[in-house]
Structure 1
Amino acid sequence: MKNIFTILIICILIGCKENPKKETAEKESFSLKGTINGDYSDYIYLNYGNVKDSTKVLNNSFEFNGMVKTPIPGSLNLQGYYTSADIYIENSDILIQADFKTQIQNEIKYNVLKINDIKGSYSARIQNEYKEFYQANQNKENFKSLLYEKLKSFIEENKNHPLSGTILAENALIEPVLTKSELIEIYAKIDTTQQNKEDLEMFKMGIANLDEYGINKPFLKFTLPNSKGKNDDTTSFLGKTTLVDFWASWCRPCRIKHPDLIRLKKKFEKDNFDIVSVSIDDNKKNWIQAIAKDNLTWTNLIDFDKQVYNELGIQGIPFNYLIDENEIVLGINLSIIEIEKIVSEKASR
């Protein structure tokens, strides 16, 4: 699964003193040089736009050369079964340092490339600055206002960069913290001709969902079959603070989160808190086996045809909604820390 959210953590630009044009204005082409720690000597592939280039890794080193009109999202991957490493391609001299390892998943050996450091890339620098800001400020009470101000300044300075569209799409659909009007105001500043169509569509979908099922709005009413073969509907949420967690048996990040959810359920079991897991599996046997293996003792529902998933506009899993006792949305796609904070505050009232 490629989780759009596993693709970019939403953070904010701070302290950017250099003019973005200074880093790329004198370059009409790019060179991408890298070193790989680990025993790998096969081909490495660079993908961006309609281009798929390849070269042999020799003495743990490789190099690509080319030209792009504007910065563009790309990825690096190794031979065979692989996991991709995302990277922006821009006309500059880019140096990367990466690690290689193999990983067994479902009895298949994957070649994993993990980028540890990127130099000479303006795109990588602003991504890192976003990440640092988000991690430092996400739990602050005034994070919403900080995010709003920083996004405005970032878009002003990078209205042509495709990262702007990605960030706004994530804000609207994956991590909706700002209001619809705030997002539309910021969106008006970007150059949409330089953005990825998928990001623009995600933004529009997210804005539409903020009208229907956003924070402080009534949650979607639905009925789905449970693990015992009977139907459950959202009236079961009434009277409880409920985490509605979307997942699937084949989604490794979803499965990794289950121990944290079990701990969360146990911590707040006396505080009128519950969890409802909604799977988008298309194989009932795999779903039932995963429930048993992960010890999910709460209500488990399955959305075979993804009607609920699609109605909510979800683009990737894991994904969650925190609902209050009156089925009003308290938060969307929250971290465990954020869920604990909200439930603790409600329990102390």
Structure 2
Amino acid sequence: MPSHFSGFLLLLCCLIGLSSHAQERFTVRGTVPHYNGKIYFDNEGHTDTVLIKDKKFLYEGTIDRPFVLWFRIDAGIPISGNTFILEPGETVISMDTIIRRTGEDTCEISLKYQKMGPVNKVLVPYEKRLKIEIPKIRFAPEEEQLRFVMNDMRTLILKNRQSLAPYYYIINTGIYQVLPEGLLDSAYRDMPVAYKNGYFGQQLKRHLEYLDQTRVGQPMKDFTLTDLKGNTIHISDYKGKFVLVDVWASWCQPCRAEIPFLKTVYGKYHGQQFDILALSIDYDRQPWIDAVQKEQITWANAIDARGFDAELMQYFRVSSVPFNMLLDPNGIVIAVNLHGERLAQKLEELLPGKK
């Protein structure tokens, strides 16, 4: 079964944090009956330390939106930490430690809620159910897995339209990347105004704009780029050819790993109405130049040193690399993000018989 979709199934059980706007207060009150010491909360780039006193602790502060909070304790042996969704308002939990003695001793932390905020009220029982359901379909055909995800996400959204929980979930897990545009568009239109103006609404809007901008059949904007020698390159220079516009960076390992395959494709089809135009989003020119030389890349290479603020990235609402678009001889987008065998198959279809 294709591994890329299995990854999304696993992500359904594991929320991922992002970043946002206005600050709101949070309070976490907890009891820890069998442990005295310190508890560590890994709060997005820094660690907050809270002292457990009389088997109780208090953790409070401000956050700009809900996110997943990792926590751990000092146990003197390897720790299996735990997580919960930190959200504005009050959360009351109890924690306990469990020592597992299988080979190397490990300490696991269990978690129970006495009081939850609105996001946790929806997602805690939802994730408990997922942990039961997902193993049943993990090795099922991809079509069956996809059908499960679509139905499950549709139900989550429809049952909780006025809650932030479904919008938080589809963005934080990354599952929005495989959901159909119609479902996402409907979710965005039905979203309360306050959520539309918040972080998760804006992320969903950005993704819908990306889908609209990269829709197959759209003409490619005639971007002006600068190559290794400082020469100006226009997208329109490639009219009359099929051209793969490949966005990459020297620090992007998946991008670098793809270069040998692109060399094979380029060697097979170059000169036969096909070309590659690479755009680096490196912030510094030298690592880009070094990478082009080390990889011995022979197709045209340009750079926009604004990174993810590069004009092309902003225009297409792209937030990750590698990213590519295949244009037809008239400069029309005919495919987006074709990699590996999918790219090879598309080129064989467009340029049959080329050697």
Q: TM-score, normalised by structure 2?
A: 0.57
Cα deviations by residue, 1:198-242 (Å, 9 ceiling, x for unpaired): 432222123234444423211221111112221111113323332
Partner amino acid, structure 2, of 1:47:
D
Could you tell me how far apart the structure 2 residues matched to 1:196 and 1:130 are? Answer: 33
Partner amino acid, structure 2, of 1:155:
I
- 1:304 counterpart residue number: 305
The reply on whether 1:332 has 2:336 as its aligned counterpart is yes
2:157 to 140, 155, 158: 155
* Shift of residue 184, structure 1, vs aligned partner: 1.2
- 1:249 counterpart residue number: 250
- 1:37 counterpart residue number: none
1:75-86 maps to which residues of 2 (within 5 A)? Answer: none
Contact 2:95 2:109 in 1 (8 A): no
Contact 2:188 2:205 in 1 (8 A): no
- Structure 2, unmatched stretches of 5+, are 13-27, 33-37, 51-56, 73-80, 87-92, 99-107, 112-123
- 2:261 counterpart residue number: 260
* Shift of residue 94, structure 1, vs aligned partner: 10
Contact 1:223 1:234 in 2 (8 A): yes
The reply on whether 1:323 has 2:324 as its aligned counterpart is no
- SS of 1:297's equivalent in the other structure is coil
In structure 2, do the counterparts of structure 1 residues 135 and 209 end up closer, same or farther at CA, with 3 Å as the change threshold?
Answer: farther
- 2:277 counterpart residue number: 276
Contact 2:223 2:234 in 1 (8 A): yes
Could you tell me how far apart the structure 2 residues matched to 1:328 and 1:145 are? Answer: 32
The reply on whether 1:314 has 2:309 as its aligned counterpart is no
Percent identical across equivalent pairs?
A: 25
In structure 2, do the counterparts of structure 1 residues 133 and 331 end up closer, same or farther at CA, with 3 Å as the change threshold?
Answer: farther
- SS of 1:224's equivalent in the other structure is strand
In structure 2, do the counterparts of structure 1 residues 347 and 292 end up closer, same or farther at CA, with 3 Å as the change threshold?
Answer: same
Could you tell me how far apart the structure 1 residues matched to 2:71 and 2:341 are? Answer: 32
In structure 2, do the counterparts of structure 1 residues 301 and 197 end up closer, same or farther at CA, with 3 Å as the change threshold?
Answer: same
The reply on whether 1:218 has 2:222 as its aligned counterpart is no
- 1:53 counterpart residue number: 48
Could you tell me how far apart the structure 2 residues matched to 1:118 and 1:189 are? Answer: 38
Could you tell me how far apart the structure 1 residues matched to 2:227 and 2:352 are? Answer: 32
State the number of aligned residues: 282
In structure 2, do the counterparts of structure 1 residues 13 and 320 end up closer, same or farther at CA, with 3 Å as the change threshold?
Answer: same
After TM superposition, the structure 1 stretch with the greater mean CA deviation from structure 2, 185-194 or 285-294, is: 185-194
The reply on whether 1:167 has 2:175 as its aligned counterpart is no
Could you tell me how far apart the structure 2 residues matched to 1:131 and 1:228 are? Answer: 54
In structure 2, do the counterparts of structure 1 residues 119 and 238 end up closer, same or farther at CA, with 3 Å as the change threshold?
Answer: farther
Could you tell me how far apart the structure 2 residues matched to 1:130 and 1:262 are? Answer: 39
Could you tell me how far apart the structure 2 residues matched to 1:132 and 1:268 are? Answer: 44
* Shift of residue 307, structure 1, vs aligned partner: 2.3
* Shift of residue 312, structure 1, vs aligned partner: 2.2
In structure 2, do the counterparts of structure 1 residues 71 and 297 end up closer, same or farther at CA, with 3 Å as the change threshold?
Answer: same
Contact 1:247 1:279 in 2 (8 A): yes
1:10-49 maps to which residues of 2 (within 5 A)? Answer: 10=8, 46-48=41-43
Could you tell me how far apart the structure 2 residues matched to 1:94 and 1:192 are? Answer: 40
Q: Relative contact order (C-alpha < 8 Å, sep 6+): which is higher? A: 1
- SS of 2:228's equivalent in the other structure is coil
